[in-house]
């Protein structure tokens, strides 16, 4: 497999690969991983406190180095270090079980470093809050350059990601290059919405995606007739559902098809396929606001796109990695085949010829990033070159 694999378990390797694709430096990553090689052998769950210790330690070192740069007036260099500090701290936090000591504090430090990096680096992203029926949906707004009303894309999380990781996929950067703005959202059940507001997953994704469209329609720099929607990992379930039930979306795409996520849970209970995070069942109970496994299975029972995809009447792109060890590529086939009323449907299964064969391209995000960017440029009226 193409996934960088310093450890003997998939879940830890996945986190390392995501960090590398999100802007981590290989030397720093080696330094963080080397001391915990043996801890990984204890299992994906048992060794996570050691993972937290080493990755948070590197984050703290970078925070101190960023302070030294900032004191010398070297704001851009400070921002670069803060980006990596934030990334490593988010990665450390993501690997812990719900309620693990230090998790809340680590998340807060990661957020603070990210926001400070935005200011010092003059980075094209703005933190915004989108009103929901209950609470708000924190988001990052990356605006396309130029004057006039531009297209925009709503980009949503998977099960265990956050809006900052969405930004670090560099999809907002590539979309902006093509004249398209991006709204990266912490929808209910993810990122800040879960951690700071306690908002659980809402399987009816159109309810919160519609609020994102409302917000975009209120921006003078957005062309309300040219709004798209995409999602990564479990967002590959939420995005098609939202496009099917929110008629204001003009185009859609998935970075990983998650067509029947409820069925995936049955397979995971039979130990088929890999989990995305340690402490998996505790994580999904937390994300769904479930009391126990029975309650979780009931709350997730409707997360099956069969019988819904014929409602999509706009262009839609399906992408998936051929060697995805979490979600079978057959779900991409199911999604594509059911887009019977889409005027333009396309499917791309990334193979070893391109790369990006693992779950949501964790081994190489370049091909998915380029394809989704070009897709929205073509279907929303951006510029592909």
pLDDT for res 43: 79
Question: Quick check: 47 and 100 in contact, CB under 8 A?
Answer: no
The pLDDT, as a whole number, for residue 46 is: 85
The DSSP bridge pattern shows strands 316-321 and 222-232 to be unpaired
To which residue do tokens 């960090």 refer?
Answer: 19
What pLDDT does 1 receive?
A: 53
Give the tokens for residue 264: 């995936």
Residue 51: strand, helix, or coil: helix
Residue 315, beta-bridge partner list: none
Distances (CA, A) of 49 to 39, 94, 95: 9, 11, 9
The token pair that represents 142 in the structure block: 């990356």
Share of the chain above pLDDT 90, in %: 95
| pLDDT < 70 regions, the chain | 1
Distance set, CA 92 to CA 82, 88, 128, 369 (Å):
15, 6, 25, 25
Task: Report whether 360 contacts 321 (CB < 8 A).
Answer: yes
Question: What sign results for the dihedral spanned by CA atoms 339, 346, 356, 158?
Answer: negative
Nearest CA to 317 among 238, 236, 215? 236
3-state secondary structure of 20: helix
pLDDT at position 111, please? Answer: 98
Indicate the length of the chain as a whole number: 385
- The region that residue 211 occupies, defined by phi over 0 for left and psi between -120 and 50 for alpha, beta otherwise, is alpha
CA distances from 169 to 215, 222, 369 (A): 23, 22, 7
CA 231 distance to own-chain centroid: 7
Alpha-helical (H) ranges within the chain are 10-21, 26-33, 37-40, 48-71, 75-94, 103-121, 163-168, 171-177, 191-195, 206-217, 235-245, 261-269, 280-288, 293-299, 330-337, 366-380
On whether the CB atoms of residues 110 and 157 are closer than 8 A, the answer is no
Please, what is the angle between helix 75-94 and helix 103-121, to 10°? Answer: 150
Is 102 buried (19+), middle (13-18) or exposed (0-12) by CB count in 10 A? Answer: middle
Identify the three-state secondary structure at position 62: helix
pTM of the model: 0.97
pLDDT at 37: 93
| Dihedral angle of Cα 303, 307, 313, 316, to the nearest 10 degrees | 50
């Amino acid at each position: 497999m193409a996934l960088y694999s310093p450890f003997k378990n998939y879940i830890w390797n996945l986190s390392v690969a995501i960090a590398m694709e999100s802007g981590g430096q290989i030397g720093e990553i080696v330094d963080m991983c080397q001391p915990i090689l043996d801890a990984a052998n204890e299992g994906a769950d048992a060794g996570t406190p050691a993972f937290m210790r080493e990755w948070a330690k590197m984050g703290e070192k970078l925070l101190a180095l960023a302070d030294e740069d900032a004191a010398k007036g070297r704001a851009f260099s400070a921002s670069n270090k803060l980006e990596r500090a934030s990334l490593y701290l988010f990665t450390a936090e993501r690997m812990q079980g719900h309620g693990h000591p230090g998790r809340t504090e680590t998340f807060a430090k990661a957020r603070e470093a990210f926001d400070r990096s935005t200011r010092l680096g003059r980075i094209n992203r703005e933190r915004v809050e989108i009103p929901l029926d209950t609470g708000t949906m924190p988001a990052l707004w990356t605006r396309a350059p130029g004057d006039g009303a531009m297209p925009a894309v709503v980009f949503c999380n998977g099960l265990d990601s956050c809006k900052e990781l969405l930004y670090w996929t560099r999809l907002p950067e590539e979309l902006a290059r093509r004249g398209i703005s991006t709204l990266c959202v912490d929808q209910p059940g993810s990122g800040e919405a879960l951690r700071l507001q306690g908002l659980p997953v809402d399987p009816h994704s159109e309810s919160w995606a519609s609020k994102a469209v409302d917000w975009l329609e209120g921006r003078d720099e957005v062309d309300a007739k040219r709004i798209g929607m995409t999602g990564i990992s479990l967002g590959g379930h939420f995005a098609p559902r939202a496009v099917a039930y929110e008629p204001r979306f003009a185009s859609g795409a998935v970075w990983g098809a998650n067509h029947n996520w409820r069925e995936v849970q049955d397979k995971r209970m039979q130990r088929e396929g890999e989990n995305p995070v340690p402490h998996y069942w505790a994580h999904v109970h937390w994300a769904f606001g479930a009391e126990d496994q029975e309650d979780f299975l009931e709350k997730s029972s409707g997360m099956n796109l069969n019988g819904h995809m014929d409602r999509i009447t706009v262009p839609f792109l399906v992408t998936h990695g051929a060697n995805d060890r979490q979600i079978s590529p057959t779900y991409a086939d199911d999604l594509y085949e059911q887009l019977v009323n889409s005027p333009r449907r396309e499917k791309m299964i990334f193979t070893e010829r391109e790369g990006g064969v693992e779950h949501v391209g964790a081994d190489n995000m370049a091909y998915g990033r380029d394809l989704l960017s070009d897709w929205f440029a073509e279907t929303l009226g951006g510029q592909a070159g």
